[in-house]
Chains A and B, each alone.
Chain A
C-alpha cells in the first residue's frame, strides 16, 4: 500500500467518524466541560455566572434534600439493579428453551419496553391504586379465600412501600436486557453443555458452572448499564409519585438536579450536583471493571 493510498484510507475513515465526533463534541464534551465549570459558580440562568470556588460542594454537605435524594437513589439502585438482572436472566433462560409459541413469548417479553413511559405510568397508577387497584383487589380476594384479612398497602403513597414498588415497576422494561441476555445465551457453545452432561452435571450445576460463567461478559455489560440507569432514574417515579412522594420518600437524585436547575434557577448548584453524580457513577463503574477480573470469563 502506497503512502498516498494509506493517507486516503485514513482520510476516508476520518470522514466517516466526523459526524460522530461533531455530535460528541457539541452535545457531550462541550456541555460536560461547561457543567464542570458551572459547578464552581453561582449561576441563576438569567445572570452571568460568578466564580464561588467550592461553595456549591460545601453547601451539599449541609443540604438535607441532597442527602435525602442520595439516600433514596442508593436504596433504589441496590434494589433495582440486582432484581432486574436476576429477573432478566431468568426470563432469558425461559425463552431460550424450545417451547411452543416461542416467537410469541419473546415478543410479549419485549413489548412492554416499547410502550411510552407516560402511558405505562398511567397504567401502573391504576393497577396500584390503593382503593380500586387490580393488585390490591386480587390480593384482597386471595386473602379472603384463605379466610385472612388483607390490609391493602398504599403502594405509591406510603413512604415504606414506594421504593420497593418502583424497583418492581422497573421490571416492566426489562425486555431489552432480556434480548441481550438471550443473544448471550445463544452464543454459548452446545459442546460445553454436552461435556458437562457427560461429566454428570445436573441442570442446576450446568447453570452455575456453564451458563452463568459463559454469560458473565453480558452480565458485566448489563450491570454497568443498570448502575448508570438506576442513578439517572427520573421519568417513571416522577409521574407515579407526583414529583417525589410523601415526605420526599421517592425523591431521586436526578429530580433534584432538574429542580435545582429549572425550578429554583440555580444552574451552578445543579451542575455541582450533576458533577457529583458523574463522579459517583464513574467510581462505581470503575469498581465493577476492577472486580470484573475475578468474575467475568471470556472465551
Chain B
C-alpha cells in the first residue's frame, strides 16, 4: 500500500491535469449578464474597449441592448472586454492574426493604424448611411476619414471631446472676482490666476488660480491658443519651432518661473489622482483648468455635495429598479442647478481673439482591425451602436456631447452636464484644430511631451527656444525616416513584381 499509493495519486493528478488542459479551457462558454449561457450556434463578436469603470458600464449597457435585441434575432453575441493600453494590444493582436472584431481606439491613433494597414476600410457603412459627412459633425468626420488616409473612412465615431475652461465659482467669490465672468483672454486668465493664487508666509503655494500643466493632457496644443497650427495634414509636417509656439511655451514656462520652480514642483507633487477627491480642482488647489464635458461626471462622483445627485449613482439606481425615470430626471435637473451654483464652464480663452476662436478636440472611435474574423457581424453591431438613441444614451452616460449632427431636444434637456450646449457648439464649430492624425504621431508626441515636461519642471535646463528647436529637428527626422521607409517598401514591392 505504502509503495503503490503515491504512484496512484500521481497518476490521478496527471490524469486530472490532462483532462483540465483538454477540456478545462473550452472556448465558447459565453454568458449573458444574467448568467444565461449563450447558445452554441451564436457568432461571438469580440469587442475590446479602452474605457473602464463608469464609462465601461455605460458601454456595457448598450452592448446588452444589442445582445438582448437584434443579437438574438441575428444569433450574434457581443463579448465586451475592457482593455488597458488598447492601441498596443490591438496592433500586436492584429500582427499576430487574432485581433478583436471591434476595437475602441482614439482618433489620434488612426494615423499610425492606417499607415500600417491595421484597419478595415468602412465604405460600406458610408454607402448605407451609417456614417458620413451628412451624419457626423464636420470635425468628427474629418477624424473618421482622415486626410492622412486619403479620406478613406476607417472609423465609426462614438464620443467626441472638446475642451472648455472650467472654473470654481466659490473660489472666485472668495477672491473678490465675479463668479459669472470667466477670463476672456490669456492676459485676463493670468490676471485672474494671480488674484486667486494663495501663498503662505513660508512661500508654500496653497492654491493657484491656474496651472497650465494641469491636467497635462493637451499641453502639446498650447500653441494653438497662441495662433500656432501644430500639424499640417497636407504635408504631414509638425510646426513646433514657430514664433506662436515659442510664445505659447514662454507663457507656459512663465508660470513656473513666476511661482518658483521648487515651489511649483512641491505643490504639484501633492496632487492626487485625477479620478479621486484629491484632484487639485476638486480639492480647491487649482481654481481654473481646461477640461472636457465629462469633467462634470468626475466632479459629481468625487465631491461630497453631489453624493446623492451624481449621474453615475442615479443611473445605477435607475437600472437596478430603485429609481423611476421621472425621479431620476428630477434629480438630474437638481444636480445641474447645484453644479451651476458652484462651477462654471466656458469657451477657452486665447491670446489673439475672442474665446472660442481657437478650439482643440479629440474623438473616441470604433474600428474593425484587419483580419477580424466577423467583419459583417461587427459592421452590423456598429450600425446598432450608431443609432441616434444608443449614441445619445452612451454620450449621456459618459457626460459628453453627441458626434451626430441630429441631436434630440431630450438629450440636451436631460444631459447631466448643465453646460452641454457649449460643448456641442464647439464640435459644430469650424475653429476646432485638426488633430495630428499622422503616422508619426506616437513618436512626435513622445518628443513634444518630453520637451514640455522639461520646460515645466526644469526651466533652466530647458530654455524654450532651444527645446522647441531640438524637438523640431528630431520630429523632422522621424518624418524623413518614415518617408525613407515608404520609399524602401515601394522599391521592394517593385522588385517583387
Q: Which residues on A are within 8 Å of B, measured CB to CB?
A: 42, 44-47, 50, 52, 59, 64, 129-132, 151-152, 154, 157-159, 244, 246-248, 259, 262-265
Contacts and interface: CB of A to CB of B under 8 A. Distances in A.
B461 A265 contact: no
A247 B116 CA distance: 29
Majority secondary structure, B binding face: helix
B270 interface: yes
Contacts of A152: 266
B488 A42 contact: yes
Given A244-B450, A246-B453, A262-B92, 20 more contacts: A42-B485, A45-B116, A46-B117, A47-B116, A59-B481, A130-B265, A131-B266, A131-B267, A154-B265, A154-B266, A157-B265, A246-B458, A247-B461, A247-B462, A262-B91, A263-B443, A263-B446, A264-B443, A265-B91, A265-B442
A278 B94 CA distance: 28
Contacts of B118: 46
12 contacts: A46-B91, A46-B370, A47-B117, A47-B489, A50-B488, A131-B267, A158-B458, A159-B461, A246-B453, A247-B458, A263-B88, A263-B443
Contacts of B481: 59
Interface in B100-137: 112, 116-118
B428 to A, nearest CB: 33
B442 A264 contact: yes
A248 B450 contact: yes
Contacts of A130: 265-266, 269-270
A8 to B, nearest CB: 20
Contacts of B92: 45, 262
B275 interface: no
Contact of A246 (B95, B442, B457, B492): B457
Nearest to B269: A130
Given A44-B485, A46-B118, A159 B458 contact: yes
A157 B442 contact: no
Majority secondary structure, A binding face: loop
Interface of B: 88, 91-92, 94-95, 112, 116-118, 262, 265-267, 269-270, 370, 442-443, 446, 450, 453-454, 457-458, 461-462, 474, 481, 485, 488-489, 492
A258 B359 CA distance: 34
A272 to B, nearest CB: 14
A263 B447 CA distance: 13
Contacts of A64: 474
A277 to B, nearest CB: 20
B450 to A, nearest CB: 6
A196 to B, nearest CB: 48
Contacts of B443: 263-264
Given A46-B94, A46-B95, A265-B112, A129 B269 contact: yes
B455 to A, nearest CB: 9
A27 to B, nearest CB: 16
B490 to A, nearest CB: 11
Nearest to B496: A48
Given A46-B95, A131-B266, A52 B88 contact: no
A264 B444 CA distance: 10
Contacts of A159: 458, 461
